[in-house]
Structure 1
């Protein structure tokens, strides 16, 4: 079941964003979003070079996609339930700053809560640490580099999943 939400700012007023379960048919668009992300240029390029979000991955994991009214993919996340971890989260470069990431995290915490989880592990892309902290994640440590695919240390965090959705509360909803 999808969740319709209004875009907080930017774009046309009243433009809606839908967060829905990804389907196998979304695989190519999600792969394109990952590989084209500006956050993974330069020294971080090796992390997504050749990366593929396959149909089997979508069918096996809890993958949710945010789309605009025109059907364009604005972002997505993948939640692993056992052990609980945010495996992937990407927002399209031209949709950043529109609140899509916050909406995805709000959806993620709601889904995690429904699954009976009290927290979700997040191993973040180093430049994304500030974003995750802004939505309530707490730093718990560092995951050491694993060259050649991941030649840098990454912040390890935990995102609490409480009885209420802190992201929604901070948005004033």
Structure 2
């Protein structure tokens, strides 16, 4: 099940980020102090994938911008390979289309680039290492066609 994240999810999402197996070794410094706060959840489009028993399987955070950006996407290590990431990516694209967006930028964790390409993103460049991030990161974009509702609202001047 996918649902909108709430403030009560903040600690669980923070733990999911910090425990991610994708950020072990040289990548660990990027997430060791990372925190998903209640304020962050309230300010952005944050959705969680939840198992029938209530366990959080993954989440994403879409920043509507401009520019629109997929800021976070994490899948619990135990849920890797079960289609959770694909479902989150599909939902994110639907949300972006409904908001009238024509594209969503992703600055990817290097090992995740192939996943983003497999769900429709195209590499557009490289973001060079700066500050605490000591590695170059792939930059990608999801090019989107607006939904029928968004096209109608665009035509009426209701959204940008």
Give the TM-score normalised by structure 2. 0.89
After superposition, residues 7-156 of structure 1 pair within 5 angstroms as 18-82=1-65, 83-147=67-131, 149-156=132-139
CA offset at residue 120 of structure 1? 0.2
CA offset at residue 162 of structure 1? 2.3
Structure 1 runs (4+) deviating above 3 angstroms are none
Secondary structure (helix, strand or coil) at the match of 2:50 reads strand
Alignment gaps of 5+ in structure 2: 148-160
Aligned length: 146
Q: Higher helix share goes to which structure?
A: 2
Give the TM-score normalised by structure 1. 0.83
- C-alpha root-mean-square deviation of aligned residues, in Å? 0.9
Alignment gaps of 5+ in structure 1: 1-17, 165-173
